[in-house]
Amino acid sequence: MKISVLAPAVLVACGTAVAAQEWKTAPPTAADWAAMAKLPDFTGVWEAPTVGRGGGARAGGPPPVPQLTPAYAARKRELDAKNTDDTEAANCLPTGMPAIMGHPYPYEFLMTPGKVTIVAEAYMQVRHIYTDGRPLPADPDPTFNGTSVGRWEGDTLVVETVGFSPLVTIARNTPHSGRMRIVERFRLTGPDTMTVQTTVTDPEALAAPWTTTRTWARQRGWTIREYICEENNRNFIDSQGKAGVVLDNPGGTPAQKE
């Protein structure tokens, strides 16, 4: 698949002209598909790192905590002092990056020419990692999972992600500055084991890069299941950050919260 030009495309929607930049690629050829066989095979369903039997343990001890700059350490202390019980995830808001990669639910990797797609079962999230040589956009719209490109360094898939919504955090009560950057290194360490090294940097929020390493296990028999958080969510936090549980209407739709 030959990379073509970075072409400005003009999209017309609802009578409004919207300028957008689009990375255009030629359709994959038989050679592109054949070349896939030479790549490490990440395809399949991987067990989440935090729990479970038969794999998923974190590599060595408890995960390190992010080291904050004085200004962001002060912000974290302010947020900690509010003593909120929980995060908006209790209200079913997806966690975004980097937390979305640390849930006790599996991940499926799909590999196609020029792209690796990660399906996170938790909150039914999808990450689109373009490996077709495109650069990261200079000023992407902020999103929960960011904008990702990937490249192969030997057998390691190196993914860089930028452009995060202010609604996502580096960690609990730890906002990012808008300049957060996440580099993930995915490498097979056995037929069905993978090491995921994640490094978060943020020149304003973090005093040092924050690196965590996880070991994942491939579960050949597993499929990704549906996860509609709103299906029967009886948990909530209110506008003051107080957590609660709805017991009304057992067996039916949970009643109004708060």
Partner 1 sequence: MRSLAISALVVALTGAASAPASAHHAAAPVFDMSAQKTVSGVVKSVDWTNPHIWVWLDVPNEAGELETWGFEGMSPNFLARRGWTRTSLQPGAKITITFRPLRDGRPGGMFMTGKLEDGKVLTNGGAQQ
**Minimum CB distance to partner 1, residue 51 (Å):** 5
Measured from the CB atom, the residue of 106 and 146 that comes closer to partner 1 is: 106
Rounded CA gap, 213 and 215, in Å? 7
Name the β-bridge partners of 126: 119
**Minimum CB distance to partner 1, residue 258 (Å):** 14
Written as six digits, the tokens of 117 are 């797609």
**Minimum CB distance to partner 1, residue 247 (Å):** 5
> Which residue type is seen at 213?
T
**Minimum CB distance to partner 1, residue 122 (Å):** 4
**Minimum CB distance to partner 1, residue 249 (Å):** 10
Rounded CA gap, 183 and 151, in Å? 11
Rounded CA gap, 177 and 203, in Å? 8
Measured from the CB atom, the residue of 160 and 238 that comes closer to partner 1 is: 238
**Minimum CB distance to partner 1, residue 41 (Å):** 22
Rounded CA gap, 152 and 222, in Å? 27
Strands (DSSP E) along the chain, which ranges? 3-13, 16-25, 44-47, 107-112, 115-120, 125-130, 147-153, 156-162, 169-171, 174-175, 181-190, 193-201, 210-218, 235-237, 243-245
Which parts of this chain interact with partner 1 (CB under 8 A)?
A: 50-53, 85-87, 89-90, 92, 103-105, 121-123, 219, 222, 225-229, 231-235, 237, 243-245, 247, 250-251
Measured from the CB atom, the residue of 154 and 250 that comes closer to partner 1 is: 250
Measured from the CB atom, the residue of 28 and 52 that comes closer to partner 1 is: 52
Q: Are 128 and 115 in contact (CB under 8 A)?
A: yes
Measured from the CB atom, the residue of 34 and 126 that comes closer to partner 1 is: 126
Q: Which residue has the tokens 């919207």?
A: 18
